Amino acid sequence: MTEETKNATHFGEDVFGDEAIRTYLSKDTAKKLQATIQEGKPLDPSIAGEVAHGIRHWAMDRGATHYTHWFLPMTGSTAEKHDSFLEIKDGEPIMLFSGKNLIVGEPDASSFPSGGIRSTFEARGYTAWDPTSPAFIKRHSNGATLCIPTAFCAYTGEALDKKTPLLRSMQALDKSLTRLMKLFGRPEAHTGCTLGAEQEYFLIDKEYWKKRPDLVLTGRTLFGAPSAKGQQLEDHYFGTIPDRVLSFMNDVERELWKLGIPAKTRHNEVAPAQFELAPQFEELNLASDHNMLVMDTLRNVAEKHGFKCLLHEKPYAGVNGSGKHNNWSVNYGGKNLLDPGTDPDENALFLTVLCAIIEAVDKHADLLRASVAGAGNDHRLGANEAPPAVISIYLGDQLAEVIDRLEKGEGGKTKKAGTLKIGVDTLPALPKDATDRNRTSPFAFTGNKFEFRAPGSSVCCSGPMTVLNTIVAEAVDRIAGELEKAKVAGKAKPGEHTPAFHNALQKILQDSLKAHKRVVFNGNGYEAEWPLEAERRGLPNAPDTPSALTALTKKENAKLFEKYGVMTARELESRHEIFLEEYAKKVRIEGACARDIASEMILPAVKGEYLETIQAFAKAESVGVSSGTSALRESAVEIGTGLDALKTGIKKLDEALSAATPSAEAEILSAMQALRTTVDALEKRVSETRWPLPKYRDMLFLY
């Protein structure tokens, strides 16, 4: 890093990265640690002590007195339990941090959801250092803590977190790709996955937020009539960023840069008060950890600026919700496999990986859908700004044509007009600019990567990325197996494959495309026609979380995860249980919150308005004034009717909340919706001074 960059950004200052390793560790130990990090090798236990010692000194030089193993439990947030370096030895206080402290932790973590894997009285969970994600310093107003990214497992080795399966899925993909690359005559190397996670969020003035129990307890507004102006004028997207928001963004970026997170892009999003932060892409596991820190930082810094940062997928009805586009790519030995390259051999490899991805997404659309399921995202997927709940692939016109020609081409025979022959034809240059992008697709090819747009703004990237890696590992593995069976690879070198190799590959890819091209859809995903067309194509369409999560109960899916060593059947089962329970709890919290707001805040306000109106009416009549009485009567009837509907709506919601039937959540949601319709209509009839909740027009505009 140049001095100039360092001074301007303080980049990586709070990360135990290359520079800190060189400064705080001996040359030998530094080398061993670097190898562990770069090659993902297990840590040499003989150096753990020195590494721990070095990390402690580095952390203490930055004001840290405590350390914590930082992990990603199944709650979807991050977890930390701090211990101080302070120990009393022979009556003397000293600062200590051992190799064991660094490598394993035993948090008494019995209260984290485990989906039956570990009951509270059984063995405790343990955290294990993940050296591929560097330790970092978390600062607070009067101190700092050393954070060590870890995986969290039960003593049986079963995963209790979101990081472990991600790391395993990367290994699975590496194994499959290594098998394929050998057939392509490429030297053995390491598979890398990359992720750039675009983060959307809303800001709201903290004062308004405090007055909205729904935002405080559930993250979204359960009531609120639309503001006269919303996003109709499309004047917010990429608009001038208000000064106070910009200074918030600046602070966020400064914090992120210190943590070595390459925050790159910032802009206004489509909905008023909605914004986006995009980092430059990084290695997948690191990028996934970093996104968790991005969300933390957004929330923390917002406080200092008098804002609250809303990461919920749909904080406001009627305007866009927030997503987290996962830009994903895979490389081998550093070479991006989703970059078509320039010669026929590179093209052949690109097309193979592309076909594998198409095959994977078609075969396992249900798992991808399940990986983005959640109570919040249900309000977004399928609504008209977000990708639909049907998982399909967008390739762009040019690549779609390439695939078409490849599928039609007949290997072995002479090239027909309009067909494409692997190993012979060169692909046209594919556009990488944003103009060719289709924003309605949940899974889009964007020049040299895929953009998975279905993940919601609050999701932990590791879930969807674990599924993507695993299903692609399976497809690559299958194609490699077919190629091996064809016995055509021989001693081929890159660029020197025999026609037999190319013919066999062509046949394999054609068969794959024939079976799976139905998942490719280049049209407009928002059109009402698409779900019908998707149904004709046999593509699954799970409209809500419970139906999406059934994918995790299918035997063939358990087999898939087990075969590729990503999750055991029990681990998968536990996740299904955890996610379903989380969904049910969230819906119930929302239901109870809506009921309480309606009965404790809205009902009294409406009663007050009603009373005032009928009193005015009675008074006018009693003094013999007739003008105004028809308006007062009309208002009284309107408010009175609303009042009746309100009482009924609250009762119905209360009943739905006390039902314990399996479909209770659906009933709660529909009772909430009905109640909302009533309340939102009343908002337009009750005087502003009496209305107990800040309105959309107040909350959505920040100046």
> Is 194 near ligand ADP (CB under 6 A)?
yes
Closest CA to 289 of 182, 394, 177, 161: 161
Strand stretches in 257-368, DSSP E? 263-268, 274-279, 282-283, 307-310, 324-332, 335-336
Phi and psi, residue 95, nearest 5° = -105, 130
Residue nearest to ligand ADP according to CB distances in the complex: 196
* Side-chain half-sphere CA neighbours of 587 within 13 A: 31
Q: Which is nearer to ligand ADP, 99 or 323 (CB)?
A: 323
User: Residue 673 binds what, of Mg ion, ligand ADP, none (CB under 5 to 8 Å, by partner type)?
Assistant: none
Question: Tokens 């599928």, residue?
Answer: 407
Site for Mg ion (CB under 5 A): how many residues? 1
Which of 162, 325, 576, 652 is the binder for Mg ion (CB under 5 A)? 325
Question: Tokens 């035993």, residue?
Answer: 106
Provide the mask over 434-453, with x wherever binding to ligand ADP is found by CB under 6 A and - wherever it is not. Answer: x-------------xx-x--
> Is 281 near ligand ADP (CB under 6 A)?
yes
> Is 340 near ligand ADP (CB under 6 A)?
no
- Measured CA to CA, the distance from residue 196 to residue 402 in angstroms comes to 27
> Is 528 near ligand ADP (CB under 6 A)?
no
Which of 101, 127, 327, 506 is the binder for ligand ADP (CB under 6 A)? 327
User: Residue 395 binds what, of Mg ion, ligand ADP, none (CB under 5 to 8 Å, by partner type)?
Assistant: none
Q: Which residues contact 372 (CB under 8 A, 6 or more apart)?
A: 381, 454, 455, 456, 459, 463, 464, 548
User: Residue 265 binds what, of Mg ion, ligand ADP, none (CB under 5 to 8 Å, by partner type)?
Assistant: ligand ADP
User: Positive or negative CA dihedral for 51, 56, 58, 64?
Assistant: positive
Tell me which H or E stretch contains 444.
strand 443-445
- Measured CA to CA, the distance from residue 355 to residue 350 in angstroms comes to 9
Q: Which is nearer to ligand ADP, 289 or 609 (CB)?
A: 289
> Is 158 near ligand ADP (CB under 6 A)?
no
> Is 265 near ligand ADP (CB under 6 A)?
yes
- The two structure tokens encoding residue 578: 């955890």
Q: Shortest approach of ligand ADP to residue 405 CB, angstroms? A: 25
Q: Which is nearer to ligand ADP, 25 or 338 (CB)?
A: 338
- Measured CA to CA, the distance from residue 570 to residue 572 in angstroms comes to 5
623, 642 contact by CB (below 8 A): no
Q: Shortest approach of ligand ADP to residue 267 CB, angstroms? A: 8
Which of 195, 319, 475, 509 is the binder for ligand ADP (CB under 6 A)? 195
- Measured CA to CA, the distance from residue 609 to residue 607 in angstroms comes to 5
> Is 198 near ligand ADP (CB under 6 A)?
yes
Q: Which is nearer to ligand ADP, 194 or 466 (CB)?
A: 194
- Measured CA to CA, the distance from residue 337 to residue 448 in angstroms comes to 8
- Measured CA to CA, the distance from residue 142 to residue 63 in angstroms comes to 9
Q: Which is nearer to ligand ADP, 297 or 574 (CB)?
A: 297
Residue nearest to Mg ion according to CB distances in the complex: 325
Q: Shortest approach of Mg ion to residue 451 CB, angstroms? A: 5
Provide the mask over 450-489, with x wherever binding to ligand ADP is found by CB under 6 A and - wherever it is not. Answer: -x--------------------------------------
User: Residue 230 binds what, of Mg ion, ligand ADP, none (CB under 5 to 8 Å, by partner type)?
Assistant: none
Site for ligand ADP (CB under 6 A): how many residues? 18
- Measured CA to CA, the distance from residue 547 to residue 366 in angstroms comes to 10
- Measured CA to CA, the distance from residue 656 to residue 667 in angstroms comes to 6
Q: End-to-end CA distance of the chain, in Å?
A: 37
218 sits in the region (left: phi over 0; alpha: psi -120 to 50; else beta) called alpha
Q: For residue 409, what is the DSSP state?
A: -
User: Residue 568 binds what, of ligand ADP, Mg ion, none (CB under 5 to 8 Å, by partner type)?
Assistant: none
- Measured CA to CA, the distance from residue 460 to residue 471 in angstroms comes to 19
* Residues 8-37 close enough to bind Mg ion by CB under 5 A: none
Stretch that binds ligand ADP, among 109-117, 195-203, 571-579, 643-651 (CB under 6 A): 195-203
Stretch that binds Mg ion, among 71-79, 323-331, 424-432, 581-589 (CB under 5 A): 323-331
By the criterion CB under 6 A, which residues form the site for ligand ADP? Answer: 194-196, 198, 265, 278-281, 325, 327-329, 336, 434, 448-449, 451
